[in-house]
Amino acid sequence: MYENRHDGKSPKSIDDALNDPEIIKVLESSKSFLAEWSERFAQKIISAITLPRNARYLTKCCAIELNRHFRNLQPSEVNRMVGNFLFKTYMAYPMTESKIIRRETGAPLTEPQKKKLNTITKMIEFAISGKG
């Protein structure tokens, strides 16, 4: 993009490219798009899912053990850790696995769809971890 805007010249550094107002605008737009769709996606998942008893039991045990071993952790930190564990072990894989999506929807994923789902999943992980 930088080269297209500057007659084929490559940026001297990443900072040069990131200081270009047009590139900043495009990156911010992309970030906003991903954040919005990640939030929508997460809300749909949360409202549509019912965790099996064994998953609820496992998350409860994780929270109890974290509190027992790390007494100085705040409840919000424990919730974040348990949520991250739950998402990574129970939800992230089915959200991005082509075979599961094909079975549930009846249609295969295209490569752009796979990339978008992986990015949205990563954004949800960042949000759970408090990184975004």
Q: What is the 3-state secondary structure (H, E, C) of 26-81?
A: HHHHHHHHHHHHHHHHHHHHHHHCCCCHHHHHHHHHHHHHHHHHCCCCCHHHHHHH
The pLDDT of 105-111, averaged and rounded, is 88
pTM higher than 0.85 for the full model? no
Tokens standing for residue 56: 């609820």
Cα–Cα distance for residue pair 97/79, rounded to 1 Å: 26
Provide mean pLDDT across the span 113-127: 85
| pLDDT, position 132 | 60
Mean pLDDT in residue range 9-14: 78
Residues 31-41: tens digit of each pLDDT: 888 888 878 87
Domain spans of the chain, in order of start: 1-48, 50-132
**Stretch among 43-47, 100-104, 120-124 having the lowest mean pLDDT:** 43-47
Q: 1 pLDDT exceeds 80?
A: no
What tokens appear for 93 in the block?
């894989």
Comparison of pLDDT for 22 and 4, the residue scoring more: 22
